Structure 1
Amino acid sequence: MTSVKSRIGAAVMTALVSAAAVTAIPAATQAQQVESRLFRITQSAKLRVCQYPLYYSISFRNPATGEIEGIDADLAKELAKELDAELEIVESSFATFIADLQADKCDIGMFGVGATLKRAQAVEFSKPYLQTSIYAIVRQDGKVNSWEDIDKPGINVVTTLGSYIEPFMRDYLKQAGFNAISPPATREGELMANRADVVMSDYPTAIKVKDEFDWAKIIEPTEPLRVTPYAYVVPQGDQIWLNYVNLFVDTIKLDGRLKALAEKHQLGPIVAP
């Protein structure tokens, strides 16, 4: 008799433990949803987007209007619209965006951030929406006329501090001088003032500078150099928010918004597949 009772008691206990385990799964999921930025954004109706306001064609503040213009300026508005949220722009930079995300100053970085393995140790990247090689911008009346002229003694090369191009060029250049420029100084300003001979940039900057300044000339590398995907960047540990951002990227590719806005800002050739 005792043996039967023991078996029944054990079976009941097993059932209770199993039920507890089953009910614990939705509870954990619910807790994760509450902690997710997606939940917070939809509840507060506010989307905070980190942007670098000196990035031509991507997120550049027009000095005449004070408005930030470019493909990511437009796509940030599209993301806010999808979330029924008010868009709040938080000014950031390539040197500070990781710290800004970790300090919860913004929910997402949207300014053509190169998705690199080193950066992925500290933040999460969405699926890519653009991809680009490295290009050189020079003065038409300057000392550099071909890619072979760049890495020589007496040539001064600059790029943006904290960009993915910076560590690559420090290793790539063997003879030319190199400097990383931080705001409020700009690479283009250094070139205009003849303090630099070459600006190393991506496709968006190269195209925009050539359009803006009649003295500018673009030099392509002899072969694609450090091809890098551009993606949106979010803090680590929030899979729900990352999933939503990835779905947004898939959606704007499928419905044509990404292509249309890329063409608007002369970035059609670098839309990611």
Structure 2
Amino acid sequence: MKQILKTALAALVAAGGFAAAQPAAAQQTDSRLYRVTSSGTLRVCQYPNYYAISYRNPQTSEIEGIDADLSKELAKELGVELEIVESSFGTFIADLQADKCEIGMFGIGATLQRAQAVAFSDPYLVSSIYAVTTKDSEIKAWEDIDQDGVRVVVTLGSYIEPFMRGYLKKAELITVAPPASREGEVIAGRADVLMTDYPTSVKLASLFDWVNTLEPEGSLRPTPYSYVVPQGDQIWLNYVNLFVSTIKLDGRLQQFAEKNALGPIVAP
């Protein structure tokens, strides 16, 4: 009788172990990591108008910047082809949820609000907010910005937009979405100053001789920049986090940051 009970108990334990293993196995095959390696293609959402991050060079039509470089490195690590899916700050969450891409790689600010809808990797860059105006503007210092009659332009859907809505008390806030650009609004005189991050401020200064960059005293809204994936796929998120850790340790992150003039904002 005891032997029969032992045999039955062993059978139940084995059955329970098999049942517990099934969800894990199902999760593994359902993970985007498995899908990418099986399909041979990594679909990366990128915003092609982000200077130094993922910017389409009008002369070559190629996307350039740190995430143009690092998306190629990620595809190389996976042993797959890279496919770029054009996205934007206003649409990347919907694009991920609609399965248009497996990952967003274009300097996306990791915010608590966005984290309600998507999952963020460990940060690879950290930036605060900067202002860009023209050299002949009456705005000469940071304290000149939040004044009556001043028009401040930001990109619709960026993390800077909601912050500036709460930050500005007197100035008028203007939002633009592609194909319009913040610098285009300033050049055309429809805005007096644009709010941006470190990558864009550096790139604008390198492209245009009219640029005057203003920094606040101390850091203003320092924000980690991370890669973004759909929620609920821990295996894929773990792999992306390992990729971020690896490029930090082997020097590739610093290498591509220096190449794109972003060395000062590499995340520790």
Q: Percent of counterpart pairs with the same letter?
A: 65
- 2:17 & 2:94 partners in 1: Cα distance? 38
Counterpart in 1 of 2:18? Answer: 23
AA in 1 matched with 2:19: A
Residue of structure 1 equivalent to 2:115: 120
TM-score, normalised on structure 1? Answer: 0.96
Q: Distance in 1 between matches of 2:9 and 2:47?
A: 57
SS in 1 for 2:219: coil
Match of 2:179 in 1: 184
CA distance in 1, matches of 2:57, 2:187: 19
Query: Paired residue for 1:153?
Result: 148
Unmatched segments (≥5 aa) in structure 2: none
Aligned residues: 268
Cα separation, 1, equivalents of 2:89 and 2:78: 26
1:217 paired to 2:212: yes
Structure 1: any 5+ residue segments left out of the alignment?
Answer: none
- Counterpart of 1:33 (choices 21, 24, 28) is 28
Which among 106, 129, 134 is matched to residue 139 of structure 1?
134
The 2-side partners of 1:14 and 1:219 are apart by: 72
3-state secondary structure, aligned to 2:16: helix
* SS state at 2:170 partner: coil
**Structure 2 SS opposite 1:184:** coil
Mean alpha-carbon deviation: is it higher for 231-240 or for 19-28?
Answer: 19-28
Choose from 238, 241, 245 the match for 2:240: 245
Select the structure of larger CA radius of gyration.
Answer: 1
Q: Which of 40, 62, 68 pairs up with 1:67?
A: 62
Residue of structure 1 in register with 2:93 after alignment: 98
In structure 2, distance between residues paired with 1:264 and 1:114: 21
Measure, in 2, the Cα distance between the counterparts of 1:9 and 1:114: 61
Deviations 1:34-65 (A, max 9, x none): 10000010011100000000100000011111
Distance 2:11 2:174 in 1: 66
TM-score of the aligned structures, taking structure 2 as reference length: 0.98
Q: 2: CA distance between counterparts of 1:254 and 1:270?
A: 16
Dislocated runs of 4+, deviation >3 Å: 7-12
